Amino acid sequence: MANTETALKEALAAIEGATGVALVDYTSGMALGTLGGSKSFDLNVAAAGNTDVVRSKLRTMEHLGLKGQIEDILITLSDQYHLIRLISGRGGNGLFLYLVLDAKRANLAMARHQLRKIEEELEV
């Protein structure tokens, strides 16, 4: 089992094209940990903004009566991928991993696979 710091370091080091990663509480909008980012890309601001994305999708699913669970939410930009992975199990309710990828260097399928493995080993 990996703690938050270890999981974030693993995501940034092991996932090709990763430029930033955060563990976020979508009930409060707070990032519980961040790694990476840049002066022009504030991970705390992005994490807080993406809580609205998660909340909106959960609300929409409820209104539609959808019973499935969200695994990933993917936002594609011209030069980046933003991957949101909701944490399941082991006290992870209300949390998600947020990964920012350079679209030119990243393999999206591999990034999703690796982030899933990191999520499974994360102990919160």
Q: Which residues contact 31 (CB under 8 A, 6 or more apart)?
A: 22, 23, 24, 25, 43, 44, 47, 48
pTM recorded for the entire structure: 0.93
H or E element at residue 57: helix 43-64
Q: Residue 54 forms beta bridges with which residues?
A: none
Closest CA to 16 of 117, 101, 119: 101
Give pLDDT, residue 90. Answer: 61
Architecture of the domain whose range is 4-121? 2-Layer Sandwich (3.30)
Per-10-residue mean pLDDT for the chain, 124 residues long? 90 97 95 92 94 96 94 96 88 88 97 95 86
Under a CB-based contact definition with an 8 Å cutoff, are residues 25 and 112 in contact? Answer: no
Give pLDDT, residue 76. Answer: 97
